[in-house]
Amino acid sequence: MKVKVIPVLEDNYMYLVIEEHTREAVAVDVAVPKRARPLPGALCTRAWRPNTGSHLDHLHLPNSHPFQLLEIVGREGVSLTTVLTTHHHWDHARGNTELARLLPGLVVLGADERICALTRRLVHGEELRFGAIHVRCLLTPGHTSGHMSYFLWEDECLDPPAVFSGDALSVAGCGSRLETTAQQMYHSLVETLGTLPPETVFCGHEHTLGNLEFAQKVEPCNNHVKAKLSWAKKRDEDDVPTVPSTLGEELLYNPFLRVAGFISTTTSSLPSGSHRTPSPCREEAVRKFTGKVAPAEVLEVLCRERASFERAAEPLQPQAQALLALQWGLLSMPRPK
């Protein structure tokens, strides 16, 4: 299983997952089918995962190159058959319509009827197959009511399993709670995503620096947060993505996963045979920061405090917002009269 990480818009990521034997490809969260986010550097660098033989391709795009998803598909010599959409927001789904027009027969899947060009609605626990790649669909409401995460693994392969979490879970953070209760969000983060095997997490945004700065406010004595923040700052200086993460690491520094402790158990229902289940023991520092005890209440306060933390940063000016909208194709230039 090969994963290409494609930066788009201001800070989004979409992904191309390739089954290397059948050469079938699946795209995750097609915000735009044509233009990717311009970044300095070489066209492609490769990061090898130690001890597994698997690899990840991070695309670094020169400013003048309008790299296209379909160009990447063509260069890889694969057949793009399916789009997996995590949720209906435009920065994760807006490209579906044009891509479906360009590729007749393209299947667009997701859990929310509001998703652009949706061809079939998925349900929680449903499993899909793309060659040797299995996909387990995990409903993870919180950011939106119809948010679906996708857990992928491959038969008889050394590559670790991976979860594509959209805005449900990000590096050291999570998406804003917009449409559900704190209890539902807790279930999604801690009981659904938090009990998966401890391998790779591909999220929907490059929000790592801000997330870690907030995590440091929550747990100022957490050395894992300090080390990850130092690492993320270096990646930011070099214009290198901070994705992917691993769930095992997230449990050490992501405050939104640290509202309850974890104990190790085993199960035969998931690849790798092991996962974690929530224990009654809360993380003391996170509980102290929020002043709450019940995990869902801890999470609710964290979300509120994170929103205040973000508002304290300098807001994007209206002129800059309009320029970004124009660049992303949301606005058109006025026609001369």
* pLDDT score of 266: 41
* pLDDT score of 281: 43
Question: Under a CB-based contact definition with an 8 Å cutoff, are residues 173 and 211 in contact?
Answer: yes
Spatial distance between the Cα atoms of 335 and 337, rounded to a whole number of angstroms: 6
CA dihedral angle for residue 140, residue 59, residue 116, residue 97, rounded to 10 degrees: -160
* pLDDT score of 37: 53
Give the global pTM: 0.84
Tens-digit pLDDT string for the chain (337 aa)? 999 999 988 899 999 999 999 999 999 999 876 655 554 333 332 332 334 434 455 444 333 222 478 889 999 999 999 999 999 999 999 999 999 999 999 999 999 999 999 999 999 999 999 999 999 999 999 999 999 999 999 988 888 999 999 999 999 999 999 999 999 999 999 999 999 999 999 999 999 999 999 999 999 999 999 999 999 999 999 989 999 999 999 999 999 999 986 544 444 445 544 455 544 444 789 999 999 999 999 999 999 999 999 988 766 556 555 555 554 445 544 444 4
* pLDDT score of 323: 52
Q: Do strands 245-246 and 200-203 pair parallel, antiparallel, or not at all (unpaired)?
A: antiparallel
* pLDDT score of 217: 97
* pLDDT score of 9: 86
* pLDDT score of 163: 98
Spatial distance between the Cα atoms of 214 and 173, rounded to a whole number of angstroms: 9
DSSP strands (E only) in the chain: 2-8, 12-19, 24-28, 44-48, 55-59, 79-84, 107-110, 120-121, 127-130, 133-139, 148-154, 162-166, 200-203, 245-246, 262-266, 274-278
* Angle (nearest 5°) at CA 272 between 269 and 274: 70
State which amino acid sits at residue 68: Q
* pLDDT score of 167: 97
* pLDDT score of 158: 86
Q: Where are the alpha helices (DSSP H) in the chain?
A: 69-76, 90-93, 96-102, 182-186, 208-218, 223-237, 247-253, 284-290, 295-312, 318-327
Spatial CB neighbours of 269, under 8 Å, sequence gap ≥ 6: none
Strand partners, 196: none
Here the contacts of 118-122 (C-beta below 8 Å, separation 24 or greater) are 118/85, 122/148
Q: Is residue 271 reached through a cis peptide bond, with omega within 30 degrees of 0 on the bond before it?
A: no
- Residues involved in catalysis: 87, 89, 91-92, 143, 167, 205
